[in-house]
Amino acid sequence: MKIPFAKPLFSEADEDEIFANIRTVLRSGWLTSGKNVELLENEFTELIGTKHAVAVNSCTAGLHSILMALKLKPSDEVIVPSNTFVATPNSILYTGAKPVFADSDPDTFNSENQSDNRRTSCRKSLRYGCTVRSR
């Protein structure tokens, strides 16, 4: 089964706003930090109701940061979907833990819980996944 990656779709008004904001950021001289990142972090904390949020440069960095905060050990295993981006298992490998791939149900695209139990040798495992969408 081929599942294509999704093509971004924006209205013309959204594109105009996005490009205007990109111009503003480029002209500010602050590409990766500064007031816009702080604003994003503050608005995100309010949106989800948490005390702290940290913006990172990629999903890989975000996943790696989460896994490091969980203090995974080399003996830990993390169940991941077999249909995912390379960042999903790589972020696990960066911590020294082991990714364990699980098939997805063809109707729901959720991992098949019964087969997952046979795929891992640990009693307690962490399960996460990344969304792969198509139109």
**What are the two backbone dihedrals, phi and then psi, of residue 75, each rounded to the nearest 5 degrees?**
-85, -10
Least confident piece of the model among 15-19, 32-36, 62-66, 128-132? 128-132
**Distance from the Cα of residue 132 to its chain's centroid:** 10
* Amino acid letter, residue 40: L
Question: Stretch 61-80: mean pLDDT, rounded?
Answer: 87
pLDDT of 61 reads 92
Q: How many helices (H) and strands (E) does the chain have?
A: 5, 3
Domain ranges of the chain: 13-48, 59-127
Would you say 92 and 99 are in contact if contact means Cβ atoms under 8 Å apart?
yes
**How much is the pLDDT for 128?**
60
User: What's the average model confidence in pLDDT over 75-80?
Assistant: 84
Structure tokens at 135: 């139109």
End-to-end CA distance of the chain: 15
pLDDT at residue 119 above 50?
A: yes
Q: Can you tell me the distance from the alpha carbon of 21 to that of 42, in angstroms, rounded to the nearest whole number? A: 18
What rounded mean pLDDT belongs to the chain? 81
Q: Return the percentage of the chain with pLDDT > 90, whole number.
A: 36
pLDDT at 50 over 90: yes
Rounded to whole angstroms, the Cα distance separating 75 from 42 reads: 36
For residues 121 and 4, the model is more confident at 4
pLDDT of residue 90: 93
What is the structure's pLDDT at 32?
81
pTM of the predicted model as reported, rounded to 2 decimal places = 0.66
> Taking 80 as the threshold, does the pLDDT of residue 10 lie above it?
yes
Q: Which among 43, 97, 39 is positioned nearest to 66, based on CA atoms?
A: 97
